[in-house]
Amino acid sequence: MSEPIIRFDKVEKSFGAFNVLKDLDFEVAKGEKVTIIGPSGSGKSTVLRILMTLEDVTSGVVYVGGQPLWHEKKGERLVPASEAHLRKMRTQLGMVFQSFNLFPHMTVLRNLTEAPRVVLGLSKVAAKERADELLELVGLTEHAHKFPNQLSGGQQQRVGIARALAMRPKVMLFDEPTSALDPELVGEVLNVIRHLAEAHDLTMLMVTHEMRFAREISDRVCFFDQGRIREQGTPDEIFGNPKEKRTQQFLRAVTEAD
Amino acid sequence: MLFGLHWDTSHGELAFAVSILPMLLIGMWVTIEASILGFFVAMVIGLGLAVLKGARLRIVRWPAMFVTEFIRDTPLLVQLFFLYYVLPDYGIVLPAFLTGALALGIQYSAYMSEVYRAGIEAVDHGQIEAAKALDLPGRRTFTHIVLPQAVPRVVPALGNYMVSIMKDVPVLSVVTVLEMLNVAKIIGDQTFDYLVPLSMVGGLYMILTLIASGIVRWVDVKLPKRGLALR
Amino acid sequence: MTWTQYLGPLSQGAWVTVQLTFWSTILGAFLSFAAGIGKLSPVRGVRWLSITYIEVFRGTSLLVQLFWLYFALPIMGDAIGINLRLPPVAAGVLALGLNIGAYGAEVVRGAIQAVSKQQYEAAKAMNFTYRHTLWRVALPQAIPEMMPSFSNLAVQNLKDTALASLISLGDLAFKAEQLRNYYQDSTTVYTIVLLMYFGMALVLSVLMRLLEANVGRWRGARR
């Protein structure tokens, strides 16, 4: 098997005395669509935030594309990464946030062109072309010149997805992309993500509470509990025939709530 | 010579500084006195303005609002001159120090009236509704429900104005009040050395405001955030 | 002598006050951003310089600062052999600008820190540099938040210009004092002068509100 695009090697993460991730080993293959489910506080969002370099690791090593993310090789030793290294590594990752986090003072178009222009150095025309394509993909072409607060939550999140894609990342991280949405707006966002999942070379890692959706699009589902992967497998294995008692309890609780 | 004390200009800067320090400290005491008196005047007039601005009658409310705005938008220096030169025309003759403290008090009353209002308005409206539901009389609602909760918000803001007043006291030098800056200026005029006394006043001011802000912060921390406890 | 005859000299003084206010506010605004951003700088030297400036000018009195620049600075210049004698206008603009800038710096710092953490995270996820995050993400969102405080500071600065009359700058307060001295008609002179300051403050407030509406246009956009 080829080198996984993401690999967590004995990763620990603590906030003060609280261990969010404990001795985590975790891999994602290139092109794989992986969904992380689990109770709140189980550390599932932290996995994404570490990958996006929003949180560092307490110990252990995270590899992205075969290279350590939070460390640099100095001879044989691994030393904490410099900002330059982190900047280089970040280009491979894109993130969609729970609360969208669009830039409120920029138009939709500007939200999409800003980073490609200043970070990737694209020309104005090229960035605009790329943005137009993505806006068509998420079905918001006619909203290009509006400000985020003129859009519905679902539309804003679709812009959020397009904005992350504009950087052409290899890995897309979705951090509960529909949790902040009114129920009737969830579908439009999931449709866009479903569409993306059909692209075979894009690696997707998603934290979500939408169990039916997770079952539908994932290659693999991981059940996180207390900072560890308690159980993982194909959607059918996890949802159809969970082995662990904690998984069964969790799934029963969320399906009852549905 | 000032306050019966002599300065030493013939043994270098340090001896000069040491010799004028007592004079500056006498001036500093005047600064503190003027600040405290001005502060109390501002608290009283400010409260009056706040009450008038909260009046139900427009004919009371609007003039009070205008007066507040007018005071806030005109310079302390000109207000001070106004009081100093105009009051005697109407037979009111006050010593310079009192005129100065009154001017400080009037200027800051406008700011403080806003603090009172903001503090009272910050009390959750649900609290007043709850008091109404319990049939508490209006006056008791104000003294026992609103006021204890407003005080912790109001006091630190008032304290910060105390520090501001201190920094405005040097303006009183124009009507001959011998506060710290005026003392330094007189020493400079007589010895032709402004650098030492004025720098010392700067340093003393830093110390004074640091201590005053420290006290304000200490009071802020000590005040119970949920309101004064009634047992 | 009727009150209308005071208006000529007082208008001259008012014009000086307007100019003083304008230039010192410009200087103050520049210093506000420099020191406010500097206080949050990752470079320790810049941070310390900004903090020292802010603390010294907020910790002492404006009139002390003005007198120091006008009376004490030349003596310090003589001691080290440089001519630091400032004309009254320069000393006035400098003292007012430095003073208001120190207060403005705290406004700028506060507003930048009030930009939500999520915005900084989004900027990081988009791989923006520190500088780009500051200029294109944080400041455009922070500036509209600063405007009400800036408006108050501008009026404060207008009022503070009256102190410049004490270093013989011919502003409105100075002209007033001259007229009072000459005609001994304090009530009329000072009433007019107070009204003139009040009028200028109102105009300044309106101007600042227009500016506020302008920098915050994106916030007004609604569906």
Give pLDDT tens digits for A9-20: 999 999 888 888
The chain C residue lying nearest B171, using CA atoms, is C63
Length of chain A, in residues? 258
Structural contact between residues A158 and A140, judged by C-beta atoms closer than 8 angstroms: yes
Predicted confidence (pLDDT) per residue in B135-176, tens digit: 888 788 888 888 888 888 888 889 999 999 999 999 999 999
Phi, psi at C64, each rounded to 5°? -65, -45
Please report, for the domain that includes residue B48, its CATH number.
Answer: 1.10.3720.10
Ordered by start, the domain boundaries in chain C are 3-222
Q: Is C166 in Cβ contact with B89 (below 8 Å)?
A: no
Chains that touch B (3 or more CB pairs under 8 A): C
Q: Is C126 in Cβ contact with A167 (below 8 Å)?
A: yes
Residue B167 lies in a domain: yes
CA distance A227 to C71: 67
The beta-carbon neighbor of C162 closest among B78, B199, B201 is B78
Domain hosting residue B217, numbered range? 9-222
Q: Please give the C-alpha separations between residue A1 and each of A5, A28, A29, A32, A221, in angstroms, as whole numbers.
A: 12, 12, 9, 13, 20
- Give 10-residue mean pLDDT values along chain A (258 residues): 85 89 91 92 89 92 91 86 91 93 92 92 93 93 92 94 94 93 90 88 92 91 91 91 91 77
Of A203, A152, A200, A144, nearest to A173 by C-alpha is A203
Q: What is the pLDDT of residue A253?
A: 87
The beta-carbon neighbor of B74 closest among C65, C186, C198 is C198
Higher pLDDT, B2 or B167: B167
The chain C residue lying nearest B213, using CA atoms, is C59
CA distance B199 to B195: 6
Residue B125 lies in a domain: yes
What is C3-222's CATH number? 1.10.3720.10
Residue B231 lies in a domain: no
User: Which of C116, C120, C127 should one mutate to test binding to chain A, selecting the residue with the greatest count of A CBs within 10 A?
Assistant: C127
Q: Is C193 in Cβ contact with B188 (below 8 Å)?
A: no
The chain C residue lying nearest B207, using CA atoms, is C59
Q: Is C125 in Cβ contact with A104 (below 8 Å)?
A: no
Chains that touch A (3 or more CB pairs under 8 A): C
Q: Is C177 in Cβ contact with B81 (below 8 Å)?
A: yes
Of A88, A162, A156, nearest to A127 by C-alpha is A162
Residue B4 lies in a domain: no
Q: Is A102 in Cβ contact with C132 (below 8 Å)?
A: no
| Chain C neighbors of A148, CB-CB under 8 A | none
Query: What proportion of chain A, given as a percentage, has pLDDT over 70?
Result: 99
The beta-carbon neighbor of C186 closest among B85, B166, B167 is B85
State ipTM: 0.91
CA distance C146 to chain A (A): 15
Q: Does C120 touch chain A (CB under 8 A)?
A: no
Of A112, A119, A123, nearest to A146 by C-alpha is A112
Residue B102 lies in a domain: yes
How many A/C residue pairs have CB atoms within 8 Å?
A: 65
Q: Is C64 in Cβ contact with B199 (below 8 Å)?
A: no
Predicted confidence (pLDDT) per residue in C124-154, tens digit: 999 999 999 999 999 999 999 999 999 999 9
Q: Is A150 in Cβ contact with C127 (below 8 Å)?
A: no
Q: Does B78 touch chain C (CB under 8 A)?
A: yes
Residue B80 lies in a domain: yes
Tokens of A227: 């900072």
**Chains A and B physically touch (3 or more Cβ atom pairs below 8 Å):** no
Tell me how many domains chain B contains: 1
